[in-house]
Amino acid sequence: MEATITQHRDKIIRIGKLLYGFVLGWLILNSIALLIMLAAVVGLYVAGTSGSRQTVVDLFTFAELVPGLGAEEIEKIITWDYETFLDHFWLIFTLALVSTGYFVTTMILMLRIAKSLKRGDLLSKQAIGSLHLLGWIYVIQGVVAFFWGIIGQLAWTSNTCELLYFSFIHDVCNYSFTFSGSGIEWGMLALALSWIAKSFQEEQELIV
């Protein structure tokens, strides 16, 4: 059905084009970054399991510069970090993979919304459906990330938690909405919008 919000049509089209361009660029750039991240995770694991463990530790020891710490202390910390990483590799890899999937899915949904907006078709089934799905994804992600963070703070004090939560889940989730806090608020907003738009759509279908 054609959008009937003719008064705001030009504004919707402009913002739709802007959003589409931004999201497309963001998707391409971050997909490359995420693929590099995945490759790095796998590479570090392969290096660690194929006898090059000390080479990796040496490489990071050389790169780290912490004021007040000598090379020996830094090496100890990096060794412990790397061992933790190797011990939890499959969990980290799964999380990295899920985060990549999550990011790509949300960006594609946003692209679908932006595509409808730039056509000036706010009430398309594609846009409303994507907005609704996006809402649920953000609410669930927000709640999971929130409790994950709390559990992490209370139960774990190791770098593993930092690595798992902050390095992967939280950062990657925030890529989706650059200025987003937890994601819960965005999820609720998207849900509310989808319901408003849906009722409006149904109402419009019965006006002849």
Partner 1 sequence: MAIIVNLDVMLAKRKMKLNDLAAAVGITPQNLSVLKTGKAKAIRFSTLDAICKHLECSPGDILEYTDNEESD
Give the shortest CB-134-to-partner 1 separation in angstroms. 29
- Whose tokens are 């497309």? That residue is 24
Whats the size of the chain, residue-wise? 208
Give the shortest CB-116-to-partner 1 separation in angstroms. 21
d(CA 174, CA 149): 14
Give the shortest CB-208-to-partner 1 separation in angstroms. 5
Residue 7 touching partner 1 (CB under 8 A): no
Is residue 91 within 8 Å of residue 164, measured between CB atoms?
yes
| Count of residues interacting with partner 1 (CB under 8 A) | 5
Q: What's the per-residue H, E or C state across 84-112?
A: HHHHCHHHHHHHHHHHHHHHHHHHHHHHH
Give the shortest CB-123-to-partner 1 separation in angstroms. 15
Report the site for partner 1 in 178-207 (rule: CB under 8 A): 203, 205-207
Name the 3-class secondary structure at 123: coil
Residue 208 touching partner 1 (CB under 8 A): yes
- The site for partner 1 (CB under 8 A) is made up of 203, 205-208
